[in-house]
Structure 1
């Protein structure tokens, strides 16, 4: 008989309705193909849990058995967590949970646009995720902001989360909900709120990290003798554009969940969604501000480059003007004429050198005062 972590029989731990549902499953349900937790390493199933009255039930659950138990138990639901499942596995899950084929096709692929769609009694939610990669972790040609996706199938007795990429890991969400019985009693939408809250919290952290990078670049550009690299500014602008593609499209689906446009969301949970939407709105404002700042920094750096090039040309021209004295004198006295003034004068050479040096010094001082040198 299956036991929990303390060695007690699960038949003594589980609520009576769940025990009755499991008894009916043993007598009527064949063994499923997938085992949920404990499946082989090719499986996309990360976790499968049954919640009754806000409490996670012990044991390793198969999603078929858990769904049957949830359907036969008051205030129970299944949370099935998947990471990058293949089409065959997701098709089997879709048959079990009676999912519509269109969102199932979307869930197999990553980089979907954030949205909330209704398919009968089921709601499909797509979120873009992002995380900030510390510079010490970067390799050549890697990105500062890594994006991914989280998709949710939300029904009366289940929620299925499908994650693409590592930008938003859901293990902390599961652990946090285990201590929030009052919240998770509201069912699958409470889990959906917790996932959205985690996604937006990570976006807030990414925005704070990008703000620090922008401040460093800004200081390097406007500091005295600053030589901020345009490549670094351009890379940061590209990463901000990627982050913007994650943040901006999230506004519409989260606003819909917070405003009551999705009727299945319980009123208590809707209040939590409004708080998440407020956090997202502040992040959107930050992204717009960052974009303006980076545009200003890039324009300033390009102007500095232009000024530096002009200064270099002025210096070259100034030194060329000084050298013109010497070129003129050597050109004249390099002519092979027999009768030239001062050609046989004893002091002609030192006088000529003195005049050239004095003229070069006077020209240098004049160019220095005018800012050309």
Structure 2
């Protein structure tokens, strides 16, 4: 679906452009065309390929979708893919934006993402001195908007991790729920990491050293984006390490609890074993056993059992087993 198609000249909006007239506007000096598509059909992609003379391999990737974040050069043109990660309740919504950028055009193709880039266009139009830099600045603005959406996700992951840590040493029986929450959080952090790390490498190719022609005037901006991504990657590494540590601590708590239960069971088994031993001895029906003829033999036997068991209970209690 076509969101908008606008021509700009000298950093100012010239007019909305019909799709069939795009190639005509591209011929005008100091003019570039900025087109935004959302979940386009195959025919819409092919139309844009014809109007902008896009490379067939890049078009194939954009049409198929589900690409790994990357940056590719085709002559003077740049093709970039970035994953859009948005908060969507308990789960993360992962979309994608493919950006074609040339000397006089920018085409963005957004898929499976709820939030668009109208704010990016409005911001660029408010800064004609920046928009005058052409496709390089628009490419930066789009990528920067994608990266900015990563920060709320990282904040959410850190907040949820802190909440789980508060319950690690909580009531007995919560360990299973804590481990399930930790693994769910680890999976979410991996989703964001898979979007950040490849994009970090791609952005690193847009500043310093040899860079595509269209971004020569915007290298400082891409270095700033790279710095943001590097900070996010560092925070994700810290989250991953903390999750692994929390899982190990939780499993250790489970092992300690199981050990305590085993000691309690062993202690009570030892105490009742005394009853069994004494009852077994006195339960043998031999004729010539002096204690069988005693008047107080039975009470004495019970008293002996209770006394020995009480002594064992006291010793186990003092040792912390009960």
RMSD: 2.3
**Matched residue count:** 320
Match of 1:46 in 2: 3
Higher strand share goes to which structure? Answer: 2
Bigger relative CO (Cα 8 Å, ≥ 6 apart): 2
Measured after TM superposition, the shift of residue 70 of structure 1 is 4.2
Match of 2:36 in 1: 81
CA distance, structure 2, for counterparts of residue 51 and residue 123 of structure 1: 19
Does residue 114 (structure 1) correspond to residue 57 (structure 2)? The answer is no
Report the TM-score when normalising by structure 2.
Answer: 0.90
Q: Which runs of 5+ in 1 are unaligned?
A: 1-43, 139-143
Does residue 69 (structure 1) correspond to residue 16 (structure 2)? The answer is no
- Alpha carbons 2:70, 2:82 under 8 Å: kept: yes
CA distance, structure 1, for counterparts of residue 6 and residue 289 of structure 2: 107
Higher helix share goes to which structure? Answer: 2
Match of 2:143 in 1: 196
Paired residues for 1:87-166 under 5 Å: 87-133=42-88, 137-138=89-90, 144-166=91-113
Q: Which runs of 5+ in 2 are unaligned?
A: none
Report the TM-score when normalising by structure 1.
Answer: 0.78
CA distance, structure 2, for counterparts of residue 215 and residue 159 of structure 1: 42
Q: More displaced, 184-193 or 221-230?
A: 221-230
Paired residues for 1:1-373 under 5 Å: 44-57=1-14, 59=16, 61-72=17-28, 74-133=29-88, 137-138=89-90, 144-166=91-113, 169-222=116-169, 227-228=174-175, 229-259=178-208, 261-373=210-322
- Alpha carbons 1:147, 1:167 under 8 Å: kept: no
CA distance, structure 1, for counterparts of residue 271 and residue 13 of structure 2: 86
- Alpha carbons 1:67, 1:77 under 8 Å: kept: no
Measured after TM superposition, the shift of residue 206 of structure 1 is 1.5
CA distance, structure 2, for counterparts of residue 70 and residue 344 of structure 1: 119
- C-alpha change, 1:87 and 1:341, in structure 2 (3 Å) is farther
4+ runs of 1 displaced by more than 6 Å? none
